[in-house]
Structure 1
Amino acid sequence: MTFIKGMDISVQTEIEQLGAKYYNGGEEGDAVHILGDYNVNQIRLRLWNNPYDADNKPYGGGTNDLPTTIKLAQRAAERGMGFLLDLHYSDFWADPGTQVKPKAWQDLSGEALERAVYQYTFDTLKELERNGVLPGMVQIGNEITNGLLWSDGRFENGKAMIRLLAAGVEAVRDYNPAIRTVIHLDWGGDNALYRRWFDEAAAAELDFDIIGLSYYPFWHGTLEQLTDNMNDISSRYGKDVLIAETAFPFTIEQIESEVMIFTEEHAASVPYAIDAQGQSQFLLDLMNAIRSVENNRGIGFFYWEPTWLNIRQARWATEEGKKYLSNDGISANVWANLALFDFRGNALPALQAIRDF
């Protein structure tokens, strides 16, 4: 199997509409084409059920509805890239701290909610294939460390959570058994967490193919802890492992008055310089760690939002989106120093490290 050198470019359509420009060696170009020039071979795209309010105003953060996802997947397919579909099963961001049911499913629970998950998953794949972009992998939920579709699918409600996940997996299997399914948690360096979670999934005989891990070295432990965890869980559960999200900064420079996710406090916690060379070295070390997983179980990585440039209007959420999440702090653009293009849109050396690996 070809080692996955992947990028999550879910924000791409929106940020281009806001004026983002990209350059490779001083020449302006299409961001997807530039990534292809650096041997990026897969993309990952999140999908939100209905990221609009009652007045049809978008929630922002990429506004990743199905038409947006299809168009981005088609652009990537033109460059010969594969496609991982990241189903959030929510109308907006889903992560360990937020797993909100879609508006249309608010009154559903039990078997009715399971049927909704199945039918939505199946219908989504059908529409993707109709448009020529059937994914090779599908994530059943996003960073579901604490479950999904709260409160029904919380991790503490073990059997209910497993039934919801099984409904999604079954829909993928029924539509096309060649599509590989991914179960994705955060905290990639926390082996105790992964054993606790996947022991429960194994006991329930949840049928899936790949364990996805988020690994941001300023949050999720050391690279050694990640490597040990990948080796343990791939052997313990007989699964391939995939770094579903990662990123590392190329600068500590602030953007005007924005509060950045990566801070000087984080800089003190990682064994790399916070510059373009440090970013390259981190990615090289990460790729070597993935490839070192025993029995060739480490299949690759996806870099999260490498094209999210320093454009003030490109925010995690619009005013409507902030209402959905009840968290004003997510409105800012705080990701630009973690991209693989600098603040002016120039391709960074880390892309060369990816190409040459």
Structure 2
Amino acid sequence: MKKTLLLTLCCILSLTITAQKYVGGDISMLKKFIDEGAIYKDYDDQPVEPLTFFKQQGWNAQRVRLFVDPANATDTEKKEGAIQDLEYVKALGKSIKDAGLSLMLDFHYSDTWTHPGQHGTPAAWKNLTADQMATKVYDYTKNCLQEMIKAGATPDFIQVGNEITDGMLFPTGKISNSSESWDILVNLIKEGIKACNEICPQAKTVLHTELHNYDMVKTFYAKMANATVQYDIIGLSYYPDFHNSLTVFNTLLTQLETTYTGKQIMIVETGYGFEYQLAGAKYNFTSTYPLTDTGQQKFTKALIETLNTHERVTGLFWWYPEYNLNGIINKTGTEDWSKDFTSGYWNGALFWPRSGYPLSAIKELKSFLGGYSGIETIRSSSQQDGIWYTLDGRRLNGKPAARGLYIHNGKKIIVK
């Protein structure tokens, strides 16, 4: 009898384990800003080491991009931040790991920026065939990961490509309506994942898309499923200025979560302005989220409330939070653009750029991790509301599809 009770208890406890959640930022420029003399402040207006400060605000992970040879990027691209070669990333990655934070490594597989409209093949790879390109992706990924491990910067998450909604390594891996183009892309991705699994078997692999075309995003992951690509996490970029409202985004999350029940979902890039809209914005939500510190925080809160209704959404990363000119402004008070670290103002930063003082959204982000008191809180506040909750207090859209122990109408319910 005791043995049976113990076994039953163990089964229940195993089902109560919820996925670890991660929150942080893509801080790829942090090392450069610090090298240039940037001074970051805390909420008491005192100088602070930024990684320590982020951790104090509840952040537990950071993301860093990696280019093949950014020396080949244009001067404009370098000023915009396309500077992260392997040596740079090893140093920054080690700092992140030494700070006790998880690391997401973002392979761009290019010498410069990649996004759906641009995936330039590295100069050294230009003359390779499709098969040779796949082999190069494997060899390059393997070598970089081995070097990261040696440097004490072992990644916990690895993106095999950045915003690859339309493919990667153009023109070789650019997708079209032909099955052949998809086959080439799948082979490139599989070779990258193969290297990740061999060198960093504990790391989770991420396939990252951008939401310029919601139908294309759904097509992409359907193609990956049909080709039996073995990855762990669906990675998404979401910027309301370009990708529409949280309502539209929420619908996609529900569709992905329902269709790919074995995958976690992470928002690996997001951002919203606090003074100006992002350049080239297609949508305007300033009546709901004013372009102020408070408005940016309000957007962050609304985003997190949306994400926390999805049990499989386990990651949230703010893009370029570290933009900060404090300490690298000349005596007349204007920006000194002689420094080759950026050519313009990233309006979605999380520090006031001229003072280095942190914006309110930094401390808001930690609410993605929970901030609830668990089962007892749910019982007291909404025990008969008909809504399903995880044990850490996250509200779900409906009855969960995943096995586990949940709260529903004030009772613990096992979903098998």
TM range (shorter): 0.7 to 0.9
Distance in 2 of aligned mates of 1:35 and 1:47? 22
Residues 7-34 of structure 1: per-residue CA shift (max 9 Å, x gap)? 1000112222333211112101122221
- The answer for the alignment partner of 1:46 in structure 2 is 65
Distance in 2 of aligned mates of 1:70 and 1:3? 24
Please identify the structure whose Cα radius of gyration is greater: 2
Quote the offset at 1:354 in angstroms.
2.0
Quote the offset at 1:334 in angstroms.
2.7
1:345 aligns with 2:364: no
- Structure 1 pair 304–314 and aligned structure 2 pair: CA distance change class (3 A): farther
1:169 aligns with 2:193: yes
- The answer for the alignment partner of 2:271 in structure 1 is 247
Q: In the alignment, which of 138, 144, 152 is matched to residue 158 of structure 2? A: 138
Task: Say if 2:28 and 2:63, in contact at 8 Å, map to a contact too.
Answer: yes
- The answer for the alignment partner of 1:355 in structure 2 is 366
Quote the offset at 1:315 in angstroms.
9.6
Distance in 2 of aligned mates of 1:111 and 1:143? 22
TM-score w.r.t. length of structure 2: 0.75
Quote the offset at 1:316 in angstroms.
11
> Map of 1:268-283 to 2, 5 A cutoff?
268=285, 271-283=288-300
- The answer for the alignment partner of 1:88 in structure 2 is 108
Task: Say if 2:110 and 2:119, in contact at 8 Å, map to a contact too.
Answer: yes
Structure 2: gaps (5+ residues): 1-18, 329-334, 372-416
Distance in 1 of aligned mates of 2:211 and 2:338? 24
Please state whether the residue corresponding to 2:97 is helix, strand or coil: helix
Paired AA for residue 3 in structure 1: K
- The answer for the alignment partner of 1:289 in structure 2 is 306
Quote the offset at 1:289 in angstroms.
1.6
Q: In the alignment, which of 45, 55, 59 is matched to residue 78 of structure 2? A: 59
- The answer for the alignment partner of 1:112 in structure 2 is 132
Task: Say if 2:244 and 2:283, in contact at 8 Å, map to a contact too.
Answer: no
Structure 1: gaps (5+ residues): 253-259, 319-330
Quote the offset at 1:264 in angstroms.
8.8
Q: In the alignment, which of 303, 323, 333 is matched to residue 344 of structure 2? A: 333
Paired AA for residue 229 in structure 2: L
- The answer for the alignment partner of 2:239 in structure 1 is 216
Distance in 2 of aligned mates of 1:207 and 1:315? 45
Quote the offset at 1:164 in angstroms.
0.5
Structure with greater contact order relative to length (CA < 8 Å, sep ≥ 6): 1
Please report the RMSD computed on the Cα atoms of aligned residues, expressed in angstroms. Answer: 2.6
- The answer for the alignment partner of 1:159 in structure 2 is 183
Aligned residues: 334
- The answer for the alignment partner of 1:322 in structure 2 is none
Task: Say if 2:242 and 2:282, in contact at 8 Å, map to a contact too.
Answer: no
Quote the offset at 1:174 in angstroms.
1.7
Quote the offset at 1:271 in angstroms.
2.4
Distance in 2 of aligned mates of 1:129 and 1:39? 26
Task: Say if 2:40 and 2:324, in contact at 8 Å, map to a contact too.
Answer: no
Paired AA for residue 122 in structure 2: P
Paired AA for residue 290 in structure 1: L
Identity fraction in percent: 28
Residues 269-299 of structure 1: per-residue CA shift (max 9 Å, x gap)? 6621111111111111212222211xx2110
Moved over 3 A (4+): 260-270, 310-318
1:127 aligns with 2:156: no
- The answer for the alignment partner of 2:254 in structure 1 is 231
Distance in 1 of aligned mates of 2:337 and 2:32? 8
Distance in 1 of aligned mates of 2:338 and 2:101? 27
Distance in 2 of aligned mates of 1:67 and 1:332? 23
More displaced 10-residue stretch of structure 1: 276-285 or 347-356: 347-356
Distance in 1 of aligned mates of 2:339 and 2:265? 28
Quote the offset at 1:143 in angstroms.
0.5
Paired AA for residue 12 in structure 1: L
Residues 39-96 of structure 1: per-residue CA shift (max 9 Å, x gap)? 1110100000111149x9x934151011111111111122210000000000111111
Please state whether the residue corresponding to 2:41 is helix, strand or coil: strand
Distance in 2 of aligned mates of 1:34 and 1:177? 30
- Structure 1 pair 264–251 and aligned structure 2 pair: CA distance change class (3 A): farther
Quote the offset at 1:237 in angstroms.
2.2
Distance in 1 of aligned mates of 2:40 and 2:362? 13
- The answer for the alignment partner of 1:4 in structure 2 is 22
Distance in 1 of aligned mates of 2:128 and 2:336? 35
Paired AA for residue 21 in structure 1: I
Q: In the alignment, which of 104, 109, 122 is matched to residue 102 of structure 1? A: 122
Residues 120-152 of structure 1: per-residue CA shift (max 9 Å, x gap)? 111111111111111111001001111100101
Task: Say if 1:240 and 1:298, in contact at 8 Å, map to a contact too.
Answer: yes
- Structure 1 pair 179–20 and aligned structure 2 pair: CA distance change class (3 A): same
Quote the offset at 1:262 in angstroms.
4.1
Q: In the alignment, which of 241, 253, 261 is matched to residue 278 of structure 2? A: 261
Distance in 1 of aligned mates of 2:182 and 2:274? 40
Distance in 1 of aligned mates of 2:222 and 2:282? 34
Distance in 1 of aligned mates of 2:338 and 2:313? 33
Task: Say if 1:12 and 1:62, in contact at 8 Å, map to a contact too.
Answer: no
Please state whether the residue corresponding to 1:5 is helix, strand or coil: strand
Please state whether the residue corresponding to 1:28 is helix, strand or coil: coil
Distance in 1 of aligned mates of 2:208 and 2:130? 23
Paired AA for residue 161 in structure 1: L
- Structure 1 pair 111–6 and aligned structure 2 pair: CA distance change class (3 A): same
